Structure 1
Amino acid sequence: MGFSRAVGEYGSIVIIAGNIPFQDLIAPVLIFQRLEQFDYAGAAVIGTVMLLVSLASLLIINCLQSWGNRINQRP
């Protein structure tokens, strides 16, 4: 759950990361750079990919938990 939340996190990562220009690019910093360049479509694409990765990881975790619960309930 922490991984999927961290993938979707934007604000605190932008403040902490990005100390070395063009060497430590992460997705939230890249979104911020795209927005500064008025490339809204590029920023939206990166944000959508981050959202889909976060959603997929949450769905996988949820499916694994329900599968584990079904296995543990069998007599």
Structure 2
Amino acid sequence: MKVGDLIKIKKCRDISDCGCFFCYNKSNRIGLVTRMDDSNIPFCWVAEFDCGEWELSSAECEVISESR
């Protein structure tokens, strides 16, 4: 994963009242990687989604379109 990649966050399990950031905001879960996180944690990224900015690891999502 790198800056410019288009990513998709995995869906939550069927929890009727899921309060996670993406379910709460009714997000489409598709985002654009904007930068590496400043925390010095390896493989930690920041992405912009339809509901706002979110920090994530590369294990939490799949790359659906790579930046060249």
TM-score if structure 1 supplies the norm length? 0.25
- Whichever of the two has the greater Rg, that structure is 1
Larger relative CO (CA 8 A, sep 6+): 1 or 2? Answer: 2
Pick the structure with more helix per residue: 1
